[in-house]
Amino acid sequence: MRRPAAVEGVTIIAATPERKLLLVEQYRVPLGAHCIELPAGLVGDTAAGDSPLAAARRELEEETGYTCDEVVSIGTGTWLPGVTDELNTLCWAKGLHGPADPSGMDEVHALMGVQGVAEEGEALRVYAVPLATAESWISAQGAAGKVVDLKVYLGILYLQRELVRVRDE
């Protein structure tokens, strides 16, 4: 499928200083189900000349309420090469600053009520999931009937690798 206008997306891997992966849940009409995803959005949908890194910062804050010190591009490519020509930049948001302090809350919790941009029809629930238990939490979400975007697993693996790299330095 070719999009009518050049469309590029961003997907953001973000973890709190407490090593909790930020995930969002939203209803996806094509799936007819709630979906657990990494924060993501479009490049250039609000401002001409938007860059993937600027879009990643904006989408992180819009979807989760978090800001960050730095956004690093991991790479640009496609998620569905047999279906669409859309490109996506995978980003890592470093140095997160949140709207709430998750350290005193439950192991896995919703950080706030509904998040997202109302004008864009977004109604998201934000989760901070401990990296150590993220895979079992995701499995439980799938068992409860939610669809898990496979990019979530990529986010877990990337963060695990980064933690090992930092530990070994």
Residue 1 lies in a domain: no
Residue 149 lies in a domain: yes
CB atoms within 10 A of CB 63: 24
pLDDT at 72: 96
pLDDT at 44: 82
Residue 27 lies in a domain: yes
Residue 90 lies in a domain: yes
Contact 43, 11 (CB under 8 A): no
pLDDT at 116: 46
Residue 3 lies in a domain: no
Domain at 113, CATH number: 3.90.79.10
Residue 103 lies in a domain: yes
Order of strands across the sheet that contains 125-130: 109-110, 125-130, 20-28, 33-37, 147-148
End-to-end Cα distance, the chain: 44
Per-residue pLDDT of the chain (169 residues; tens, 9 = 90+): 555 555 799 999 999 999 999 999 999 999 999 999 999 999 987 777 889 999 999 999 999 999 999 999 999 999 888 888 889 999 999 999 987 544 444 444 445 444 544 444 557 899 999 999 999 999 999 999 999 999 999 999 999 998 777 767 6
How many domains does the chain contain in total?
1
pLDDT at 79: 85
Range of the domain at 152: 8-168
